[in-house]
Amino acid sequence: MKPFIGAILAIFWKDLLAERRTREILGTMLVFALTVILVFVFAFDLSVEIRRKAAAGVIWVTLCFAGTISLNRSLTLERDREAINALLLAPVDRTAIFFGKALVNWVYLLITAAIIVPVYALLNNLSLFSWGGLGVILLGTLGYILTGTLLSTLTLQLRARDMLLPVLLFPVIIPLLLACVRASTILLQGGNPAELDTWLVMLVGYDLLFAAVGLLVFDRIIEE
Amino acid sequence: MILPQALPEETRRAMLNAVNLTRSFGNRQVLRGLSLTVEPAEIVSLVGINGAGKTTLLRVLANLLRPEQGMVRFGSYTPLNAPAEYRRHIGVVMHTSMLYDNLSARENLRFFSRLYQIADSDKRIRQVLEMVALNSRADELVRTFSRGMQQRLAIARALLHDPDLLLLDEPYTGLDQRSSELCEMLIRQAAADGKMVLLTTHDFNQAVAISTRVDLLHDGKISWSSPSAGLSGKSLRATFNELTVFSGSHKGHGVNT
C-alpha cells in the first residue's frame, strides 16, 4: 500500500511543480471561470432573489467547463515526449497513475471553486457559504474528476481528444450534475432535508462507482 | 556500483525469455511467433528494416504492450503473474525521451526515484548524472537541453534503478561522437556488471562492434542470429540484404552501414 500511495503523491507533486513553473492549467481555468461568472453577473439585470436561485446552476456549469481544461491538459503533459510510457514502466500498480492525476485535477478544480464561489457571492451581494455546500462541492468535483480522468485517459492517444472529451464526458456526468445542482439549490434556498439526503447519497454513490471503475479498468485502457 | 536495493542472486542470474510472441495492429501482423532469449552479460543488437517490428518487440518486452499470444519471462517474473516486479528489473530508452520538459534533470530523476522507491535517491541521482556527464546541468530545465543531452538524460533515467535488463531503442539517435562513445561505454559497463542489453540499431558497424550477438528481425520473427565475433559490418549488411531481398522486402531500406 505504501508504494501505491507514494506513487500517487509523487505524480501529484510532479504535476504541481510543473504547474508552479508554467501556470498554464490553473491560469487558464481561472481566466475562463471568472470570465463566465462576470458575463453571467453583468449580462443580465436580475433581482438578488433570482441570482440566488441561479447561483447553483451558474457555478456548476462554470466548474464543469473549466474542469475540461485541466483534464485535457493534464494528460497531454504525459503524452508530450511519451512520458506516460515512463510512468507505465514504473514498478507500481498502474491505477496509482489514475488516482495521482485525479488528485491533482481535483485540487485545480477546488482552487477554481474556492475563487469563483466567493467572487459570485461578492458580485451579487449573496452569502453562499455553508458547510453543507462545501461538502457538495467536494463530492461533486470529486465525481466529476474521477469520471473525467478515466475518459481523458481513454482519449489519450486520439488526435481529436480535446473535442472528444466533452462529448464523452458531459452525457456521463448528467446524473452527477443534476445531484450537485439540486443539492446546492436546497442548501441555498432551503428545502426538504430528506430530498437533500437523497442527492448526497447519490453523489457518494457516484464517486464510489467511478473510483471502483477506475480501479478495475484503468490498467487496461492506459495500456492499449 | 551501489545498488538501489539488494536483489537476490537468483534474480541477478535470471535471463529474459520470450516465447512465440504474436502482435498485430489492425490487419497487419507485426510479430509472428517470435522467440528470443537474452542471457546475463549479453549485448544483443536487433537489426531489421523500418517497420519490421523492433520497437513493437521492445514495447512488448517492456510490458508496455500486451502480446496477443506468447509469453515473456524474466527469471520467475512475467508481466502477468508479477507485473510490477517484472518492470522493476527493466530499464528502457525509447525514441522519445519520456521526460518532463518543465522539470529540471534532477527533478525528473527525483520523481522517477520516488516511483522506483530508491533508497538514498540523492546519491544515486548524482551518480547517474555523473555517468552521463550531466551533473553540471542537473538543475536546468529539460526543455533547454539539446536532443543529445535529452537522450543522455533518458539513459540516466533508464539506469537509475540499476535494472538487470536494458531495452534500448536506437540509443545513439541524436548523440554526437563524444556522447555516442559515452553511451557505448555505459552499455559495455552494464554487460560487464552482468546485465542484459537488447538494443535496436540501423547501423551495422555499430551493431557488430558493440554486441555479443546480432539478431535479424524479419517477417515478424528472428530470422537470423549470429555471434558478433567473426562478423563485420559489411558481412552483416550482405546477410541482411540477402535475407530481406529474397523474402520480397526492399533492399537495405533505411539502413546505414
Q: Is A88 on the interface with B (CB under 8 A)?
A: yes
pTM to 2 decimal places: 0.89
CA dihedral B116, B121, B123, B128 (to 10 degrees): 30
Q: What is the pLDDT of residues B9-65, one digit of tens each?
A: 555 568 999 999 999 998 999 999 999 999 999 999 999 998 899 999 999 999 999
Q: Across the interface, do A18 and B63 touch by the CB < 8 Å criterion?
A: no
Terminal CA-CA length for chain B: 35
SS3 assignment, position B176? coil
d(CA B18, CA A126): 67
What is residue B185's predicted lDDT score, i.e. its pLDDT?
94
The grid coordinates listed for B6 are: 539488494
DSSP B84-130: HHHHHTEEEE-SS----TTSBHHHHHHHHHHHTT-TTHHHHHHHHHH
- CA–CA distances in Å: residue B42 to residues A214, B189, B197, B210: 40, 11, 6, 10
Q: Is B235 on the interface with A (CB under 8 A)?
A: no
The count of C-alpha atoms lying within 13 angstroms of the C-alpha of A158, restricted to the half-sphere facing its C-beta, is: 13
Q: Is B62 on the interface with A (CB under 8 A)?
A: yes
Selection from B170, B94, B160 nearest residue B131 by Cα? B160
What is residue A81's predicted lDDT score, i.e. its pLDDT?
84
Average pLDDT over residues B173-177: 84
Q: What is the pLDDT of residues B88-144, one digit of tens each?
A: 999 999 989 999 999 999 999 999 999 999 999 999 999 999 999 999 999 999 999
SS3 assignment, position B220? coil
Question: How would residue A47 be classed by pLDDT, with cut points 50, 70 and 90?
Answer: confident
Q: Is B117 on the interface with A (CB under 8 A)?
A: yes
Between B194 and B255, name the one with better pLDDT.
Answer: B194
Selection from B18, B54, B23, B50 nearest residue B36 by Cα? B18
The grid coordinates listed for B127 are: 551518480
- Domain ranges, ordered by start, for chain A: 2-223
Question: How would residue A77 be classed by pLDDT, with cut points 50, 70 and 90?
Answer: confident
What is residue B243's predicted lDDT score, i.e. its pLDDT?
85
> How close B118 comes to chain A (CA, Å)?
11
Selection from B6, B55, B12, B1 nearest residue B30 by Cα? B55
ipTM metric: 0.90
Selection from B164, B171, B157, B210 nearest residue B61 by Cα? B164
Average pLDDT over residues A147-152: 95
Pairing of strands B28-38, B90-93: unpaired
d(CA B182, CA B168): 15
> How close B97 comes to chain A (CA, Å)?
6
Triad A76, A34, A116: Cα angle to 5°: 95
> How close B103 comes to chain A (CA, Å)?
6
Q: Across the interface, do B84 and A92 touch by the CB < 8 Å criterion?
A: yes
DSSP H stretches of helix in A80-192: 83-89, 95-123, 131-154, 161-189
